[in-house]
Amino acid sequence: MPEPVRIGCGAGFAGDRSDAALPIIAELARYSGARFLIFETLAERTLALCQLEKRRDGARGFSPALDRMIPQALGPALAAGIRIAGNFGAANPRAAAERIAHYARAAGFTKARIAVVEGDDLSASFTLDELRARECDGSLLEKQQKIAAANVYLGAEGIAQALNAGADVVVTGRVADPALALGPLVHAFGWEWDDWQRLACGTLAGHLLECGSQVTGGYFADPGIKDVPGFAEIGYPIAEVASSGELVITKPRDTGGIVDRRTVTEQILYEVHDPGAYLTPDVVLDITGVELEQDGGDRIRLRGARGKTKPDTLKATVFVESGFLGEAEISYAGVHALARGRLAAEAIKARMQRRAPELPLRTDLIGVNSVFGNLAQEADMQPAEVRLRVAAQHPRPEPIEMLLNEVEALYCAGPAAGAGVRRHLTPRLASTSCLIERERVCPKIAFIPGVG
């Protein structure tokens, strides 16, 4: 049997663990054949915030995860012949690639070839009117004068092209999450772009990997119901993919976590609206016939993914600035803590109704009614402590600042023994989706000059 392609995922979001890739690298280094390490660090809001950062500083705008994850993973991966693909680029893939080149030189790999996949940023190629005409539903863009960010989900083609051209590291901006795995598979096996069956299998592999430890016990554990051994040191996932598309999900040996039918089933269904038609830029994936089989300890073999012709359009996410969010909290503890928390909330509401009646407030007593609201059964509750949270949003920051000051004033002007005030004022972003014709989008690859 030919050696399978092995792909490990070292991150499922920008805030993921910085050392998660190291056991994967050690495990992949045991094998020959094509091996890849992917990093998925780009939620939609992360990308929009990176766009705003790039406006302030043209040398920034890449994922905040890059400087935490790449320095310790890059040298060991390159030394073992493991190639890397990650969406660290966010709003500025070239700056991210140059940053990675810096880390490669520092690790002694002066000839590492680092490629960039661009073409997802629509802000220069689409007018606001064109985006309005393509908005899927709602009318968020109708009254807007400018956008904060507009990025289309690219597929795996640019990643595969960069690897075909000899890239050791591929840096992307916005791509579909499964594309990070599908691109290396297409490159390694030479799959055709209309081989819907194999593209579906590769997309399934990417979907299972994309959230990191969610498929190996993270976001799964529930003590006494769904126990996960070695939870503090969960091993992140590895996919072993055959040229036929059949795949196994596993994790590095001697790591915590678990890979079984339950963890894999949960991740298969994660963020899938229609199991028969999971839309990606490269293929429409049908998971309704997927079969799972235990293939040894912490190994699940998957068969039965089916593929259909890729969609005619690509999804783009458009962000606009949407005012400000203010949040402030204060704690009450001991006898009558709940009553004092309620009194503080009533005082804030009364004062803000007089001083800024246009400002809608939300108040929560965390642990009492912050999740279930009026459905919570409070009558018999006498918690030893409560934390009052007050929040509001507004187009202007001034009313929000007034609210935050009122909460801080509860230190002395509020009920007895309030403590631990925290306050935050955060710019808000609102998003909408647009459908973009494929012919209007063209991924481009480039190598960082002076490297490799």
The whole-number pLDDT of residue 361 equals 95
Would you say 167 and 114 are in contact if contact means Cβ atoms under 8 Å apart?
yes
DSSP 298-329: T-EEEE--EEEPPPSEEEEEEEEEEEEEEEEE
Buried b (16+ CB within 10 A) or exposed e, 266-280: ebbeeeeeeeeebbb
Strand order in the sheet with 306-308: 278-279, 284-286, 306-308
Confidence tier at 449 by pLDDT (50, 70, 90) = confident
Report whether pLDDT(380) > 70.
no
- What is the longest distance spanned by two Cα atoms in the chain? 76
pLDDT for residue 381 is more than 80: no
Report the 10 Å Cβ neighbour count for 125: 14
Is 298 in contact with 251 (CB distance < 8 Å)? yes
The CA-atom distances, in angstroms, between 367 and each of 140, 341, 379, 424 are 34, 12, 14, 20
Rounded to two decimals, what is the model's pTM? 0.92
Q: What is the pLDDT of residue 435?
A: 97
Residue 137 has pLDDT above 90, yes or no: no
Please choose, from the candidates 339, 366, 355, 352, the residue with its C-alpha nearest in 3D space to the C-alpha of residue 420: 366
* Res. 378: pLDDT tops 60: no
Could you read off the pLDDT of 221-273 as tens digits, one per residue? Answer: 999 999 999 999 999 999 999 999 999 999 999 999 999 999 999 999 999 99
Decide: 303 and 318 in contact? Cβ < 8 Å: no
Q: Is the dihedral of CA 49, 50, 51, 54 positive or negative?
A: positive
Helix (H) or strand (E) holding 337: helix 337-355
Report the C-alpha gap between 249 and 259 in whole angstroms: 7
Domains in the chain with CATH codes: 5-119+154-311 (no CATH), 318-433 (3.30.70.1120)
The string of DSSP letters for 366-419 reads ETTTTTTGGGS--TT---SEEEEEEEEEESSHHHHHHHHHHHHHHHHHSSTT-E
Bridge-based pairing state of the strands 114-118 and 169-172:
parallel
Token couple for 418: 């309030």
Residue found by looking up tokens 């190629």 in the block: 125
Task: Summarize pLDDT for 22-80 with one digit per residue, the tens.
Answer: 999 999 999 999 999 999 999 998 998 898 899 899 999 999 999 999 999 999 999 99
Tokens 């973009």 belong to 436
- Is the pLDDT at 322 greater than 80? The verdict is yes
User: Residue 305: is its pLDDT beyond 70?
Assistant: yes
Q: Residue 206: pLDDT above 80?
A: yes
Each residue's pLDDT tens digit, 411-447: 999 999 999 999 999 989 899 999 999 999 999 999 9
How far is residue 392's CA from residue 401's CA, in Å, rounded to a whole number? Answer: 10
Confidence of residue 371 (pLDDT cuts 50, 70, 90): low
Residues 6+ apart with CB under 8 A from 150: 121, 122, 123, 126, 131, 316, 317, 318, 319, 434
